[in-house]
Amino acid sequence: MKTNCTQVKKAVQQTLIDCMNFDGQDEQPQGLKDQLTFIIQDFVRTHLYDYNRKSRKSYQELFIEYLRDGSSVLNLPFYTDDIIEVMVNEWNLPQPENKTNEDSIRLFYILLHREFITLCNKNNIDFYTLTR
């Protein structure tokens, strides 16, 4: 299955929504739009400080670092086996024989970033404007 098919896109989006957890946060955003905005604000607060802005990394790379570092509001799988299990069982993306686990993990985070931006766009949120 290709990563740009509708079934995969929806499955990745659902993973993002299912992994949102705002327990322990001072504010409890209500509704998907507020939750996405909260995540962007958390990303800006924790990963877009001056050093990172000047590091010449793309926003995609910085957002992937944010996801990999264990966002305080996105409870994503952390271990390689768990990530591959999500890709195979929930996203219907089996690991190709010629790819390493690291390739699959990189794809996992790239797809999460892509579909996070898609969710933002669907909810009239301009990710890039909010991160400036």
The model's pLDDT over 36-82, given as tens digits with 9 standing for 90+, comes to 999 999 998 888 877 777 777 788 898 999 999 877 799 999 999 99
> In 3D, which of 37, 53, 12 has the Cα closest to residue 127?
37
Looking at the DSSP assignment, which residues form a beta bridge with residue 74? 20
Q: For helices 101-122 and 6-19, what crossing angle results, to 10°? A: 80
Reported pTM:
0.91
Torsion of CA 100, 107, 70, 27, to 10 degrees: -160
The model's pLDDT over 11-46, given as tens digits with 9 standing for 90+, comes to 999 999 999 999 988 888 999 999 999 999 999 888
CA separation for the pair 131, 40 (Å, rounded)? 7
CA separation for the pair 104, 96 (Å, rounded)? 9
